[in-house]
Structure 1
Amino acid sequence: MIVILCTGLVVIALVTALVLVLPALARPTLPFGVRVSAERVDDPAVIAARRSYARLTVAAGALVAVVTIPVLLVTRSAAGIGVTTSVLAVLDVLVFHRAHRMIRTAKLTGGWAAERRQGVAVDTTFRTDPVRVPWPWALPALAVVLLTAGIGWARYGTLPATLPPLFGYATEPARREPTTVLSAFQPVIFQLALILIVVAVVLVVLRARPDLDAARPKGSARRYRVYLRGMAVMSLLSAACLNLSLLLGALHLWEIVPPTIVWQVTVYAPLVVLVGGWVTWEIRVGQAGHRLPALPGEEQEDSGLGQRDDDHHWFLAGAVYVNRRDPALLVHDRLGSSSWTLNLGHPIAWLLLGVLAVALIVLAGLLLAGVV
């Protein structure tokens, strides 16, 4: 019980810390998903929104932590952690949206959008000379797959007649399934699928429209190239961490190691390293690489333009983008992290979402039928 309670409080503390850091990762000209000019970065309205956001985020975390203690003491189940964390996530989203509305209201009433002539920066070299996939960084993930497959192959002949199904990075000991090649090598299959998904995402993101600053086109283009390569490297290393956790989980599935608490913690250790690595990298580079060091002369660069003000195409505080006139399918979102969103004004976006929905329904049906 003490372990569950401590885990719940630690999760709440981590979520609160990540939410507090999120606004600092965004470009100074995109506070809480609202486009502002460089002259308005330190506007009193922006500062007030940041301070209010920080206070309310801490208050939400403290409130949920206080409620979590009796909830976990009564339920005595780890499922309570998911419930309280979900409540905290909803509160944090509402607090973020409140800060977004505060700045957007100040922008509209103060006429900030008319202070600079608007424009966009375009760098055609991202098409003629795109950032390449750093394939050598995929070798750690592939090495973990080969190691997992080798251990599984050596163990396969001595496996028991039934195995517990693999659920995420753990097994369900209450259920047993006949030992087959498919059930025994589930970790390897998941590892290969992870690598394919990560590589596909990297390929798409490297070809997505660059997020450049119209006020500093040359400097932002150079930084964005460095940022893209770093994002690709981090993504490939993420695949290695995820695969390593699957390898550790497979050792339990194949009954090579006993299901102790220490081992369960070890299974999730690479995921903790993964989250810590991403947060550290995000803090260092910032959204679209705006925190990267400037070369001589780049700090003084100013084209006189302001980035095109398209706030009316963004919804949910910069998470959802809808613009039928924009040919881009994938765009960098405004949340402040290394994430992209589909342009829901593009017809292909709805086709992709439809295919994903069908795939999820089929997978859910297979899970319910016990096929997967």
Structure 2
Amino acid sequence: MTPLIAADLTAVVLVTGMMLALPAMTAPTTPFGVRVSHARAADPAVIAQRRGYARLAAAAGACAAVVSAPLLATGGGATVVGATATALIVVDLLLYWRSARRLRVAKVAGGWRDEQRQGVTVDTGFRTDPVRLPWSWALPAAVILLLTAGLGWWRYGDLPATLPRFTGYGVDATGREPLTAPAAFAPVLYQLVITLLFPALTLLLLRSRPDLDAARPVGSARRYRVYLRGVARLSLLGGTCLNLGLLVSALQLWAVVEPSALWTVVMYLPLAVPVVAWLAWESRVGHAGHRLPALPGEEDEDSGVTQRDDDRHWFLAGTVYVNRRDPAILLHARIGASWTLNLGHPVAWVLLAALVVAGLLAAFGVIDLPQRENVF
């Protein structure tokens, strides 16, 4: 078995495993992004869609392996591996969306939304006593930034006239560029942006609209607080790991170590830490903390109402939200530890317009964006 075939099969197994776990990353009351009551969480229609999606996703993974492996064995390049993984993700997402559509049809046909009185729950404590940003978790990223800056200051006078080309995360040893202060300290500048940006984004997540359950208001509010505290720590941990990888990039850029495949692996290793931590946290606490154990008094909590049905505002299996009457800009999506913008809010369109303008400026060469390194 050639390394490319091994890499291809590994990618297929990882993608298939991740996509098979996708339905489990939603709350029981939002299977495939569709709002249902607790009484309908184990409905035969829900179970049928879960099983159908699992069978089709597994079959898609098997087909991807059967088709791509012979192409690589007959001389296909490394791009086949990336194309296979990308195509498999797209197919699985379409299958997920298909299950969401079918579940919506079953929900409407069965009249589920009229079975119980609907309502919403509000906990003003998230405004008067919000979850605090754990600043201590941001300190390691700042320490790595200062360490990199000090090392760069020490090395700057001994650097050669040209440097390897910095690609945004790593270096290209085959390309050289003239020595200038911006080129030499590019990793430090990236670290500075990450050190400032991650706490700011984390603070926005902590202040976004909480995802509470009207059927179990007390328990869901407590669980969501625990969930937010974990999310904040993991987010800041991600910034630390990115800065650590940029430190390894800087070592190669400043000729402290020679650029090589080994150091490229070392550079990417820190990124595995937040990924594994996120997966472990998500599997333990569940979407918005729904898997956390109930405290005494919460076991049989039932307000007599079910969460308001707002499926008409959610699109693409609970990942896109559009509601002009909702003042919230940022809110928890219906899949995994993810947030989404309210595209019905004018501020959201301003942010998207800024991203489009930045993309157009980069496309026409007005500004430079970091180059994406090919994993394969």
| Alignment TM-score, normalising by the size of structure 1 | 0.94
Aligned residues: 371
The equivalent residue for 1:251 is: 251
Q: Which stretch of structure 1 is more off in the superposition, 19-28 or 219-228?
A: 19-28
Measure the CA separation in 2 of the matches of 1:138 and 1:371. Answer: 24
* Alpha carbons 2:234, 2:274 under 8 Å: kept: no
The equivalent residue for 1:123 is: 123
Aligned identity (percent) is 58
**Which amino acid is 2:294 matched to?**
A
The equivalent residue for 2:166 is: 166
> Over aligned residue pairs, what C-alpha RMSD do you find?
2.0
The equivalent residue for 1:242 is: 242
- Residue 262 of structure 1 deviates from its aligned partner by 2.3
Measure the CA separation in 2 of the matches of 1:179 and 1:165. Answer: 10
**Which amino acid is 1:124 matched to?**
T
The equivalent residue for 1:351 is: 350
- Residue 174 of structure 1 deviates from its aligned partner by 3.1
* Alpha carbons 2:173, 2:259 under 8 Å: kept: no
Q: Aligned in 2, Cα 1:364/1:141: closer, same or farther, shift over 3 Å?
A: farther
**Which amino acid is 2:344 matched to?**
G
Question: Residue by residue, what CA displacement relative to the aligned partner does 1:165-209 show, whole Å, maximum 9, x if unpaired?
Answer: 222422223321111111111111111112222112111111111
- Residue 269 of structure 1 deviates from its aligned partner by 0.9
Matched, 1:23 2:23: yes
SS at match of 1:148: helix
The equivalent residue for 1:91 is: 91
- Residue 26 of structure 1 deviates from its aligned partner by 1.1
Measure the CA separation in 2 of the matches of 1:247 and 1:371. Answer: 16
Measure the CA separation in 1 of the matches of 2:193 and 2:65. Answer: 37
SS at match of 2:173: coil
The equivalent residue for 1:196 is: 196
Q: Aligned in 2, Cα 1:70/1:184: closer, same or farther, shift over 3 Å?
A: farther
Q: Aligned in 2, Cα 1:361/1:74: closer, same or farther, shift over 3 Å?
A: farther
Q: Aligned in 2, Cα 1:254/1:286: closer, same or farther, shift over 3 Å?
A: same
- Residue 22 of structure 1 deviates from its aligned partner by 1.8
**Which amino acid is 1:85 matched to?**
A
Which structure 1 segments of 5+ residues have no match? none
Matched, 1:67 2:38: no
Q: Which stretch of structure 1 is more off in the superposition, 258-267 or 284-293?
A: 258-267
SS at match of 1:257: coil
- Residue 366 of structure 1 deviates from its aligned partner by 4.1
The equivalent residue for 1:211 is: 211
Measure the CA separation in 2 of the matches of 1:70 and 1:182. Answer: 46
- Residue 73 of structure 1 deviates from its aligned partner by 4.5
Measure the CA separation in 1 of the matches of 2:293 and 2:109. Answer: 35
Measure the CA separation in 1 of the matches of 2:153 and 2:365. Answer: 26
Q: Which stretch of structure 1 is more off in the superposition, 10-19 or 343-352?
A: 10-19
- Residue 319 of structure 1 deviates from its aligned partner by 0.9
Measure the CA separation in 1 of the matches of 2:211 and 2:302. Answer: 17
Q: Which stretch of structure 1 is more off in the superposition, 16-25 or 70-79?
A: 70-79
Measure the CA separation in 2 of the matches of 1:75 and 1:252. Answer: 33
The equivalent residue for 2:3 is: 3
Question: Residue by residue, what CA displacement relative to the aligned partner does 1:84-133 show, whole Å, maximum 9, x if unpaired?
Answer: 22111110111101111221111010001111100001001111111111
**Which amino acid is 1:309 matched to?**
D
Which structure 2 segments of 5+ residues have no match? 372-376
